[in-house]
Amino acid sequence: DVKVTQSSRYLVKRTGEKVFLECVQDMDHENMFWYRQDPGLGLRLIYFSYDVKMKEKGDIPEGYSVSREKKERFSLILESASTNQTSMYLCASSLEGISNQPQHFGDGTRLSIL
């Protein structure tokens, strides 16, 4: 069965801290994605990666960076956390080149910045 694992379900950090959210997939997928989910706004893409060490900005990359050193792992980094980054963060992965394949999601991380 496909599996995307996010390192934490709940996380509380302080303003100004550097925050790491980790995501691991065991399906050998080429594509990985980070979204944030806010009420009334749906899911918005922060960054995605289509290969190791490759990344592209999504719709709301400001204040975030990512790292993909290995195919199975995609990390989201909040360089200096701010209260407006309090949100639900979802990681996803998908196969490259197959149009009807869905993205598979992790269980999400609820991040609170105090």
Strands (E) across 3-95 are located at 4-6, 10-13, 19-25, 31-38, 42-51, 54-57, 64-70, 73-78, 87-94
* Residue 106 one-letter amino acid: G
Q: 12 with 63: CB under 8 angstroms?
A: no
Q: Does 96 bind other proteins (CB under 8 A)?
A: yes
Q: Does 23 bind other proteins (CB under 8 A)?
A: no
Q: How far is the CB of 66 from other proteins (least distance, A)?
A: 14
Q: How far is the CB of 114 from other proteins (least distance, A)?
A: 21
Q: Kindly tell me which residue out of 33, 34, 64, 74 binds other proteins, with binding defined by CB under 8 A.
A: 33
Q: Kindly tell me which residue out of 1, 28, 40, 69 binds other proteins, with binding defined by CB under 8 A.
A: 40
**In the structure, how many helices (H) and strands (E) does the chain have?**
0, 11
Q: Does 45 bind other proteins (CB under 8 A)?
A: yes
Of the candidates 106, 77, 104, 107, the one whose C-alpha atom is nearest the C-alpha of residue 93 is: 104
Residues of this chain that interact with other proteins (CB under 8 A) are 9, 31, 33, 35, 40-45, 48, 50, 56, 58, 88, 90, 92, 94, 96, 99-100, 102-108, 110
